[in-house]
Structure 1
Amino acid sequence: MKSYNAKNPQECKICGYKLSHNKQGRFTQHLKEHNFTLDSYLSKYYYSYQDLKCNRDSCNNMVSLTRGIPNKFCSSSCRQKKPPLICAECGSDFEAKNRNTKTCSSVCAKKIKSKKITLWHKGMHPDEKQKHFKRIITKTAATRRNNNTPSWNSGKKGIYSETTINKIRQATLKQMKEKVFRKTNIEIIIEKFLMKNKINYRYSYILENRQFVFLLIDYKIIIECDGDYWHANPKFYPFPKEWQEERIKIDLIKNGIAITNGYKIIRFWEDDILNNLQYVERIIYDLLATT
């Protein structure tokens, strides 16, 4: 960029008027005839866009002139700012008051967090991962029990159309058949018992579009593992909420389906499985012996 110099010959780009210099301001006076100041004239006819752009990379504002020469920055804030930060995710420049900020946006921050969690999970031992998710599920269930806050649509009617309900039901049945969901803690305990005793079973048995937890194939016995909260164990919930009553009705329907199709069905509460497993095992042994 060649800076403006008042000592050099002057030529008006508007009308062609020429002067040998502008040391006494005669050229500046001439520009007033065209309703221009010297700075506005130079900005329009002398300097290019790049000459007038703020030197700060992240700023696209135009700078003002001082005695015909462009300033380096458009404002004192740009002059005082430190070099822009570089996003650790996308590599773009960004500004932030906190110089320890690593990302340019919440989107990039979530991507980095997701990558870290993925690496963390990959590095976890399967047993450690299972304990981790168990803690999360247990904590969530405890919070909902304490606050009496089940999921927003639990036990409610009229939220979905019949078409939507059928789609949800079919998708759920597909998941159950393909076993792409995680077993609950109490289901794992019962499954270990069945495996230990070499009892032939099928997990997630579908009957008349209803899912049953375990089918003891050689005995035509169905075992259900009922969570205390979701199925309203009367020991803890003598006066179930409306949504819990709906869950109880569903359980009764499933009982009827099993019996109608020639199966024996037995239900165990979460409390019994966790705190009185010998009692549960004894009932299963007795049932197998009499079937």
Structure 2
Amino acid sequence: MSYCKKCPYCGIDFVTNDRRAVFCSRHCARIVTNTKRYSLAREKLEQRLCRTCGKSLALTKALPSSQQKYCGNSCATTAKWTRPSYRFHQSQVHSTGRHFYWHVCLQCGQSFGNYIKTSISKFCSVKCKNRHQISRRLATCAYCGKNFVTLNRPKRGKFCSCRCYTLKRQAMSKETYLPSPQPKRVCLRCGKNFFDYKHPYTLLRKFCSVKCARQYAFADSAARQRMRKIRLLHVFPVKDTKIEVALQDELRKRGIKFVTHISLIICQPDIFLPEARLVVFADGDYWHGCPIHYPIPTKRQQEYIDRDSYQVAYLTRLGYRVLRFWEHEIKKDVVACVDRIVNVAAGVTSKFGQNRLIQI
């Protein structure tokens, strides 16, 4: 059902389905409501005097008359603590069931009461607390013993300067955190003399450094072999390189089955074809020391070159075919590299010794 009404603010006739509607829009309703609130809040009632200081107090309709007895918070607080119901002895109990205690202000010397029994409550007001902290006092430096003037604060003013503070901290650290050393001990690896401290976790210390401890642990050949087997089971690297991904994508396009980073006794090849017993490595030009780009290898590159040569010789002795591709070869023509892999794998015999071609 539609109703035809007239807006009391702008005077426009409007049609609405709500019979309780008064204004034509929210804009008109908001203006009228805010105007009424403002006029109600500013409308003054009777004149009243503050109960503490006696100043005239203009009452308004914004607050009930029971809350308009004082001109401000300071007068209300003063009246609260001077009220007879709050002035009683420490042994008495307030109407709320809590004990009430009296203290003496450190700044002005006046007595004041609250519910805190400990020495935390030291000042009767924030003004007295600020005045007490701003005031100065004579103190003695805890390091050099010199007298100096500092702020009147309980946790400040222990040292006359930053230099004394730093020297005191250094002295405390040497006394507290560095215990007296025990007699010298001899390292089981290098034979060097070293001091040991009386800490629980170093009572059984036998080596002068972590390096000597590791060298002593891997001195046994059985321990080295055991650690080598454990490391071969770890998949490394976690993320394949770009040249490895390029070879893998091309092999997948041709439907060739392969596995990546499988443990083969002494190494983890980048790509391994189990049926063809073919091992493929994708070597970076920098890390593996490409002779074209790096004719004079560094010490690290020479170590990688020697390791790669040993791996190729060892795997060939076990009956594997090994192919190594340089980074620039794969980036230049990855299809040619995969063609070479297919051609080599096509003529390899199976691991059972039967002279048959591997169909790929």
Q: What's the TM-score once normalised by structure 1's chain length? A: 0.46
Q: TM-score, normalised by structure 2?
A: 0.38
Higher helix residue share: 1
Larger Rg: 2
User: Greater relative contact order (Cα 8 A, min sep 6): structure 1 or 2?
Assistant: 1
